[in-house]
Amino acid sequence: MGDDWTELYRPKGLVEVVGNPKLIKDLQLWALSWEEGRPSHRAVVLMGPPGVGKTSAALALANDFNWGVVEMNASDQRNADAIKKVAGRGSRSETFTDEGEFLSSKEGRLKLIILDEADNIFGREDSGGVPAISDLVANTRQPVILIVNDFYALSRKSSAIKNNTMQLKVGRVQGNTMRGVLRKIALDQGLEVPQRVFETIIENSNGDMRAAVRDLQAVAEGNESIGDDDAFVLESRLSLRNMYDLMRDILHEGDAKRARRTMMDVDETPEHVMMWLDENVSLEYKGEDLHRAYEHLSRSDIFLSRVIRRQYYGFWAYASDHMSYGVTTSKSRTNRGWVQYRFPSYIMKMSRSKATRNMKSQISQKIADHTHTSTRRAAQDVLPFLSTIFKADNDFRLAIITDLNLGIEEVAYLLDKKVDSAEIKRLMQEVENVRRSKEGDPNPVQKVFKESVVEDPKPQMKRSEPRGKQSSLFQYEG
Ligand SMILES: Nc1ncnc2c1ncn2[C@@H]1O[C@H](COP(=O)(O)OP(=O)(O)OP(=O)(O)O)[C@@H](O)[C@H]1O
Ligand SMILES: [Mg+2]
């Protein structure tokens, strides 16, 4: 796979930015006012929670109006100079390239200046970011979009920013809208996704479209089809989203205090976090850094085992600090690329095998009920043989499915196939056909069954028949 779906399916134009129709209108009107040479406001502030389409809307707007884009991460110190340059000279000159170099007016078209994470710059008074941005929004000759999570932080520091900008809210994406987008992506990927998986993803996302797309990719990864068992896995990840955030804070952001704080907020045991780190640390760390990180993880592991041995939960704090503070500070280089974190394969395997175990005991229960024996005996003595014959003999298969009233998941389990594979679907259809024709004809399945398996070959050994024949292998008179 490799592609990051959140990038692959980033809206190209404003029509694809879902969920905030009023916002789209306002942005279009604002852009038109720039096109006409008399901007209603020089700058717009887009504010809203993570992953709802702020950056996407800004980029889509530029695309729709064929504007160039100068994108800057405001919290990156290295950009402060560039911002000053743009604010001081660039934006007032005719135009400039995506790298901030000036062009002659002939080559020029409008350039949208996008300042992402603009609220972060206000944390550092010394950076000169506040006056630079205030100047920018008041005087720019190019359209400017500031993107913030928290407008209050920004407006408090500068009334100029508040007064010279048009503030637009970007709201969380509604479940229905989200479902539409996820369906389209699944269709495009040729994936069949059970309703239940969509619902779980949407519920988990809390209106964060990026999180939803990312989760869909995570369940699709390495699966040629997605079954209900994936919903099971998904559901078991109660704070799935939190874990991705935590991984980013520990492994990527490089802010140890923040990593530690997020670690405390996450509603998971340190053991669980450990599995996530173990799965993902090597995706972000290399060489010496990786070595140091593992050093902390192994220390952490020692504390975790002491928790168990001594039944003293105070050690959790040390374990957690090694995982957050320790791992974060092990990194000497920043990795600027984007990393798709993975759900721990260990947990995945365990929950899959749990689903399998459940299935096994469910079928054994049915056999036990049917043959008046214990589930244990059914599981040990009958199930292995039954499943072997079940795989080999189609008539037997049809009969057993009907007799035991096996559901599609149980059938898939017995055949070692995915629930939504074509073969299983075909088989269930066949069972259904037989069932239907049975309503006309007294009992075709059992007839097949009797002829092929049960019918006594020696007619002279007469059975007393007053209460009817045993109609299948598993049916006994009460
Ligand atoms: N409104 C939306 N319509 C369609 N796709 C969306 C929308 N919002 C988010 N997405 C999906 O999520 C991805 C990330 O969205 P985007 O970068 O625009 O979020 P953001 O609001 O800028 O988040 P952050 O505050 O974390 O920067 C997009 O590439 C797209 O795949
Ligand atoms: Mg963004």
Residues 263-314 pLDDT 10s: 887 878 899 899 999 999 999 999 999 999 999 999 999 999 999 888 888 8
Q: What are phi and psi of 96, to 5 degrees?
A: -155, 165
What pLDDT does 345 receive? 83
The secondary structure element, H or E, covering residue 453 is: none
Tens digits of per-residue pLDDT, 111-128? 888 988 777 665 555 556
Between residues 365 and 240, which one has the greater pLDDT? 365
Helix axes 345-371, 228-236, angle to 10 degrees: 120
Distance from the Cα of residue 138 to its chain's centroid = 40
1-5, 75-79, 317-321, 406-410: range with highest mean pLDDT:
317-321
Could you read off the pLDDT of 30-70 as tens digits, one per residue? 999 999 888 899 999 999 988 999 999 999 999 999 988 88
Main-chain phi, psi angles of 72, to 5 degrees: -130, 140
In angstroms, rounded to a whole number, what is the distance separating the alpha carbons of residues 398 and 470? 17
Tens of pLDDT along 144-158? Answer: 999 988 777 677 777
pLDDT at residue 152 in the model? 76
Measuring CA to CA, which residue among 242, 229, 223 is closest to residue 341? 242
DSSP per residue over 88-123, as a string? HTGGGSSEE-TTS-EE-GGG---EEEEEETTTGGGG
Residue located via tokens 């990194």? 331
More confident residue, 469 or 355: 355
Q: How far apart are the CA of 21 and the centre of ligand 1, in A? A: 15
* Mean pLDDT score, 11-33: 95
Name the pLDDT band for 71 (thresholds 50, 70, 90): confident
- Is the pLDDT at 390 greater than 60? The verdict is yes
Distance 255 CA to ligand 2 centre (A): 19
**Average pLDDT over every residue of 220-246:** 66
Q: Which residue has the higher pLDDT, 235 or 209?
A: 209
Q: Out of 208-212, 358-362, 457-461, which region has the weakest mean confidence (pLDDT)?
A: 457-461
pTM for the model stands at: 0.55
> In whole numbers, what is the pLDDT of the chain averaged over residues?
81
Quick one: which H or E segment has residue 11? none
Q: Angle at the Cα of 265 (from 310 to 270), degrees rounded to 5? A: 30
Pocket flag, ligand 1, residue 207 (CB < 6 Å): no
182 lines ligand 1 (CB under 6 A): no
| Amino acid of residue 118 | A
Span of 185-189, 340-344, 345-349, 379-383 with lowest mean pLDDT:
345-349
Choose from 87-101, 376-390, 429-443 the range with maximum mean pLDDT: 376-390
Q: Tell me the sheet residues that pair with 45.
A: 146, 167
- Pair of tokens at residue 48: 């809203």
| Pocket mutation for ligand 1, best pick of 3, 52, 117, 189 (most atoms within 8 Å of C-beta) | 52
Pocket test for ligand 1, best of 210, 214, 340 (most atoms within 8 A of CB): 210
172 Cβ closer than 6 Å to some ligand 1 atom: no
Probe residue for ligand 1, chosen from 55, 120, 145 as the CB with the greatest number of ligand atoms within 8 Å: 55
Q: What are phi and psi of 399, to 5 degrees?
A: -65, -45
Condensed to tens digits (0 to 9), the pLDDT of residues 195-226 reads 888 888 898 888 999 989 988 888 887 666 66
Q: What pLDDT sits at residue 441? A: 55
